[in-house]
Amino acid sequence: MDSQLKKLCIGVGFLCLVGCHGGSSGPEDAQSAAALRKTAEEMGTDWMLGGSVDERFLRVAGQLRGWDATMVEVGYRYSMLYWAGTDENWEFARYQLAKIGDAVELGLERRAEYKDKARMLDAVVPRLEEALQHKDPEQFRQRFTELTSVCNACHQATEHAWVRIKPPSVRFSPASQPPDDAVVGSH
């Protein structure tokens, strides 16, 4: 097996194991994880392949991070959803909403302690999906406002009330309304 393929297989294997490992359960786990981690500088270019299985696992798991990484993606998708709905690009909006769901589900695999709080989305997401299905700009604005309120309520419930979100005022993505002659549904 060639070296690059072997590295890829090992990396994928570690990523699969991450879902089975769970997360750290307390400060003592964090301390032992920190003690086992070695920097790329210490490991050289084979940072993922060097050391014991536990050391390699912890380095790969550290790359996946926790709920903060989930929220970075959710925040990006939230913004994209807003602009897609504003542009009345309904298919793109549905795509972004689905990706928000995917990100939250994957995040909950890493941080199951947020599962009960994340259920707050269960009421608002189907209503937003309905607005997107009906291609109704006013209903979209109302449902997006509800989504924003639920996100902020979840932040409060998880003791992150200092994270207050609101609809974006600046578009950071070049994605916009597709041209009238674009073939919808082809990717």
Q: Which residues of the chain, if any, have pLDDT below 50?
A: 1, 4-28, 187
Of all helices (H) and strands (E), which one includes residue 103?
helix 90-110
CATH number at residue 121: 1.20.120.10
Residues 109, 75: one domain?
yes
Query: 10: domain range?
Result: 3-64
**170 lies in a domain?**
no
Supply the pLDDT for residue 12. Answer: 42
pTM exceeding 0.85? no
**110 lies in a domain?**
yes
Residues 107, 148: one domain?
yes
Residues 44, 89: one domain?
no
Residues 20, 38: one domain?
yes
Domain boundary among 64, 93, 109: 64
**168 lies in a domain?**
no
Residues 88, 47: one domain?
no
Q: CA angle, corner 114, sides to 110 and 120, nearest 5?
A: 130
Residues 90, 129: one domain?
yes
Distances in whole angstroms, Cα of residue 173 to Cα of each of 76, 80, 126, 131: 9, 8, 25, 23
**137 lies in a domain?**
yes
Q: What is the largest CA-CA distance in the chain?
A: 59
State the total domains in the chain. 2
Supply the pLDDT for residue 180. Answer: 62
- Length of the chain measured in residues: 187
**177 lies in a domain?**
no
**146 lies in a domain?**
yes
What is the SS3 string spanning 2-50? Answer: CHHHHHHHHHHHHHHHHHHHCCCCCHHHHHHHHHHCCCHHHHHHHCCCC
Residues 75, 126: one domain?
yes
**CA 138 to mean position of chain CA atoms:** 27
Q: Which of 154, 85, 162 is nearest to 121 (CA)?
A: 154
Phi and psi of 184, rounded to 5°? -75, 135
Residues 89, 52: one domain?
no
Residue 18 tokens, joined: 């991450």
Residues 141, 96: one domain?
yes
CB atoms inside a 10 Å sphere around CB 47 = 19
Find tokens 């674009």 and name the residue.
182
